[in-house]
Amino acid sequence: MSKRSNSEVGMKKDTHLTSTSVALNRRRFSLGLPLLAAGAAAPQEVVAAKAPSRDEAPIVTYYRTKTIDGIKIFYREAGPANAPVVLLLHGFPTSSHMFRNLMPELADRYHVIAPDYPGYGQSDMPDRATFSYTFDRFGELVDGLLDALGVKRYAMYVMDYGAPVGWRLALKHPERITALIVQNGNAYEEGLKEFWDPIKAYWSDHSQEHRKALYVLVAPETTKFQYTDGVADVSRVDPDNWVHDQALLDRPGNAEIQMDLFYDYRTNLPLYPQVQAYFRKHQPPTLIVWGKNDKIFPADGAYPYRRDLPKVEFHLIDTGHFALEDKADEIVPLIRHFLNRKIAS
């Protein structure tokens, strides 16, 4: 803004400012304000946060499919092809749909890719008799997708199920990981609290009784709970989220797929020491943006990252499981500032 005194600014200037404020791009405006308040942004980054020209075209997201090992994998893609890559890995029970608002916020400077796992979103849902619904398999298919797209280095945003998928990629290709953004994604047993007790009971004996007890986790009230619990202002959460997710969960056979994955989640725990060793050895730049009111992955699972990543940038956000849905105005500036410092070319 101009540094002229108020006496030099007449009614014409006030009118101009009013019309300009209407024209401001909401995304850039919401980015710049919190960074200034926090005193975190360097001057050139504040300039980069200013609104683009009114004539600038909006970010375009592409909706694409590639066949990997005979499975059609759907993915969203946006941003310059030669820009640093940010891989977005979704959680349960959603899909790349959870990143629909984040992608345009990053794609001006980054090449953003968000796949759907098999059985989720728009990807294939192969029969359980011929396809193993495991986190190992998901990791292999995402790795195959990245190879097919020619992606050799990338930052990862991991959330919920996206964490065990992402950790498998990091353990296989540690040299490819440029940075980590962790949002309610577990890598420590401290993060598996009371919510997990019925799932652990199923792990203990793989019984039909314990399997049936988990069907409540794919019921409509639970899907809505994941979006609304721990949220101060539910009017900030789009109800299309749980309607969209539930419609996909209700597809014939999908509930059984989810039960298979609940059982396979047990395979992640033995990987935690390896993941933690990866953190200690490679020290990837890491940003934690964690919904602190989440009952599924509570903040107990966020704090241990600081043991192995002493330089981690750590933020507990006053929200629940799907933190982006109501707190994007807080989280997006943190992500952009982090990526701009750590991976921007």
> Which positions ≥6 away from 304 have C-beta within 8 Å?
187, 188, 190, 191
Cite the active site residues: 321
Beta bridge partners of 114: 76
Beta bridge partners of 179: 155
- DSSP string for residues in 215-274: GGGGSHHHHHHHHHTT-S-GGGS-THHHHHHHHHHTSTTHHHHHHHHHHHGGGGGGGHHH
Instruction: Give backbone dihedrals phi and psi of 97, rounded to 5 degrees, phi first.
Output: -55, -30
The length of the chain in residues reads 345
**230-243 burial: b if 16+ Cβ within 10 Å, else e:** bbeeeeebeeebbe
Beta bridge partners of 72: 67
